[in-house]
Structure 1
Amino acid sequence: MATNKNALIRYKVLDNCFRNPGRRYFIDDLIAECENILLEIDPESNGISRRQLFEDIAFMESKEGWSIDLARHRFGKKVYYRYADMSFYINNMPLNEVEINQLKAAVGILSQFKGMPQFEWVNELVPKLQQGMAIDEMPTTIMEFDSNQYLKGIEHLGQLYNAIFYKKVLAISYQPFENDIPFEVRLHPYFLKQYNSRWFLFGYNPEKKKHDWNLAIDRIVSVEETKGAYQKNNKIDWQEYFEDIIGVTKPDNAEPEQVVLHFKGRTGKYMETKPLHGSQKSKWIDENTLKISLHVIINYELERLILSYADMVAVIAPLRLADTVKSRLEMAIKQY
C-alpha cells in the first residue's frame, strides 16, 4: 500500500481516537488502533512505530496539517491524548483563505458551463457549492470560454452525450445543407468533437458499415433512442484518430503527408505562438518569412484554414495542395 495512503488512514484513525470522549487513548493504545486498521486493510502492513506516531501527531498539529488543538492529560505516570474541543474533527475544519479563493475560482469556471445541455447538473451544483463554502459574493467573471449556447442543434448535445455514456442506439433525422428534406440515420454513438465552434457526432453506421461516420449537430433535426443491441467501439482510439488531422474530416485510406507553408511578416510571428497542429515545426528562413512544416492528412478543413490567411501564406508542398488553394483563390477573385 502506498505510504501516503497509509498516512491518510493513520490520520483518520487518530482523529477518531482524539474525539472519543468515552475512552482514554495513551500512546500504546493509539499505536494499536492504527495497526489494527492497517492490518485489516493490508495483512502485509508493517504497522506503525512509536516515532512515526509522534511524527503524525506533530504533522496534525502543524499548519501544514490541520492545526489541531490537542490536549495532553496526565493519568498517573502516563499521558492520554484528546482534542481540547471535543466537537472538533479534521473533516469539519473551516477552509482557509487560500482554499476558499481556489474553490471560488473553480466555481467561477464551472459557472461558464451553465446553460449547456450536457451540463444541467452545474445549475444545481454551483449554488450548493456557494452555500457550502459560505460564499456570499462571487467575483465578477474574469475568464470566458469560446462557446455559443445559441448554436443551432445545441439542444441535442445533452441527449447525445447521455446516449454515448449509457450506450444507446439512436435514430437521427438529419438534413445536410444540400438536401431539401431530412433522412434518417441509425447510429451507435461513440464520440463528440468540437471544431471551429461546431459540434460533430461520431459513431457506427450499420448501413454504411463505417465506425467513424460523423454528423454535424447543427444539421440534426431530431433524435430518438431505439431498441436494439448497442455495438461497442473496439476499433477506434479517438485520441489517435484525430492526431493526424486538422478538424474532423478523415478521408478513407488517406495517409499523413508533409505540408510546407510559408507565412509572411507578422502573421509568421503569430503562427509561432499558435501552432496549426501538434506536428508543427517552424523555422525563419529570412527576416520576413516563417517556414512551417506539418505532418498531416490533407482534408477540407486544412484547405479552409490555409485560405483564411489569404495573401499572408504560400503553399510550398505538396504541389497538388498548392494547386487546389490557387484554384480556389482564382475562383474567389472572379466574385469581385
Structure 2
Amino acid sequence: MAIHDKNIRLMHIASFLKSKPKGASFKEILKHLEELYHRESFPKDLASSQKTFDRDKKLLLEMGIEIKFKRSTMTYQVINDEFSESSQTIFDNILLLNAYKQTENNSGIMIFEKQSSRGLENLNGLLHAIQNRKTISFNYTKHWENIPHNKVLEPYALKEFKNRWYLLANEVDGKDFFLKTFGLDRISDFEVNSKTFKKQDVDIDKLFVNSFGIISTLDKIPETIVLSFDYEQGKFVKTLPIHHSQKVLIDNDSEYRIELILVPTDDFYHELLTHTGRMKIISPENVKDKYFEFIKSAKK
C-alpha cells in the first residue's frame, strides 16, 4: 500500500476511536474502514486485517496515540493521546484535504473561508534554505508602507499564527544577531542563495513560550492573568484555548474562569477584544487598565 493510503488509514482509525470514548470492537473498526473504502474509493486493503491493525497500533503509539484492548468488553480504546500540537495540525489538514477531494465536484458541501495568498508558494524554498543553512533574499513589503525593501537573511524557522505563516530570520547586515519575523504573504522575488551561514544555537520554542502571537517576549517577565467568561462563551474558550498555559479555575453553569501565564502584547489585547461583553478581567489591574485603553481607542 502507498504511504499516503497507510497514513490515511492510521488517521481514520485514530479519529474513529477518539469519537468512541467507550471504545469499539475490531469488527466495528473494520466496518468503518470498509465503509470509507466504498465511500471514498480507497484501495481495498484500507480495510485492514487483524495483523495489519496490530501494526497500525504500534505506529500510532510511536505518534503518541496509545490504543489498548479491553478484554471485558472486547473493545479498543484510546487511553493516551500525546499527539503534539504540530502533529495534530498536520493530521487535521490531511483529513481536510482528503474530505475536500471527496466533495470537490459537489460545490456547497464544504465551504472554505475566502483568503488571499498566504505566501506558501515559497514554502519549499524556505524549508530547503533553513535545513541547508543557505542565506535567502527577497523583497519585503510592510502593510503600512507599501514600498518593497530588499532583504538578505539567515533563515531559522517558520511559525504559524492565526492561519498565517511567518519566517524567523536574522538580517545578514545587522550589527547584532536578532531574529525578526516576516510575513510570508508579504514576500516577493524570493531566492535561495549559494552562500551558507553558521547557525547560532537558539531555542526557538523558548523565544515564544510566554508569548501570544509572533512577538518574542524572551527577556520579559510573564504575568498571571485571570479571566472570567459567562457559561456560553466559556464553552468556546474551553474547546479553543487562548494560550497553552491556560488553567481552569472555575467551571460551572454560570462561569468559566481561567488563569493564563504570559506577557501581554497588543496581539493578546486584540484577542481579548473578541470576547468583549462576555468576559471579565479579574486580575491584574494593569492588564484591565490596558484593555480599557483599547476599548476607548476603538470608541474614538
Structure 2 counterpart of 1:109, from 94, 110, 135: 94
CA distance in structure 1 between the partners assigned to 2:267 and 2:123 by the alignment? 22
Structure 2 regions of 5+ residues with no counterpart? 1-43, 57-90, 105-109
Partner in structure 2 of residue 181 of structure 1: 147
* Aligned position for 2:190: 223
Identity %: 25
Counterpart Cα distance in 2 of 1:240 and 1:277? 15
Q: How far off its partner does 1:169 sit? A: 0.2
CA distance in 2 between counterparts of 1:212 and 1:165 reads: 17
- 1:168 Cα shift? 1.0
Change (3 A) 1:263 1:111: closer
Question: Quick one: which amino acid aligns to residue 213 of structure 1?
Answer: K
Contact 2:212/2:267 (8 A) holds in 1: yes
**Offset of 1:303 from its aligned partner?**
1.2
Structure 1 residues 333 and 233, CA gap change in structure 2 (3 angstroms): same
Q: Helix, strand or coil: the match of 2:294?
A: helix
Kindly report which structure 2 residues correspond to 1:128-167, keeping only aligned pairs within 5 A, or say none.
150-167=116-133
Looking at structure 1, the residues matched to 46 and 292 of structure 2 have their Cα atoms a distance apart, in angstroms, of: 61
Hey, what does 2:180 align to over in structure 1? 213
How many Å separate the matches in 1 of 2:156 and 2:113?
22
Report if the CA contact (8 A) 1:250-1:297 is conserved: no
The alpha carbon displacement at 1:201 in A equals 0.3
Question: Which residue matches 1:169?
Answer: 135
Task: Name the SS of the counterpart of 1:232 in structure 2.
Answer: coil
1:98 shift after superposition = 1.7
The 3-state SS of whatever aligns with 1:247 is: coil
* Cα contact 1:148–1:197 (8 A) shared by 2: no
Q: Is the 8 A contact 2:208 2:218 kept in 1?
A: no
SS, match of residue 226 in structure 2: strand
8 Å CA contact 2:207, 2:218 repeated in 1: no
Distance in 2 between the 1:149 and 1:163 partners? 27
Aligned 1:5-84 pairs, distance under 5 A = none
Question: Per the alignment, in what secondary structure is the counterpart of residue 98 of structure 1?
Answer: coil
CA deviation after TM superposition for structure 1 residue 286, in Å: 6.9
Equivalent of residue 283 in structure 1, options 249, 254, 260: 249
* Structure 1 residues not aligned, in runs of 5+: 1-93, 114-137
Shift of 1:209: 2.3
TM-score normalised by L of structure 2? 0.60
Count of residue correspondences? 211
TM-score (norm 1): 0.54
1:264-315: CA deviation from partner (whole Å, max 9, x where unpaired)? 2211132223221221111228742222111112222211111111111122
Distance of aligned partners of 1:313 and 1:296 in 2 relative to their CA distance in 1, 3 Å threshold: same
Deviates more, 1:152-161 or 1:302-311: 152-161
* Change over 3 Å in CA distance of 1:285–1:156 after alignment to 2: closer
Distance 2:217 2:45 in 1: 53
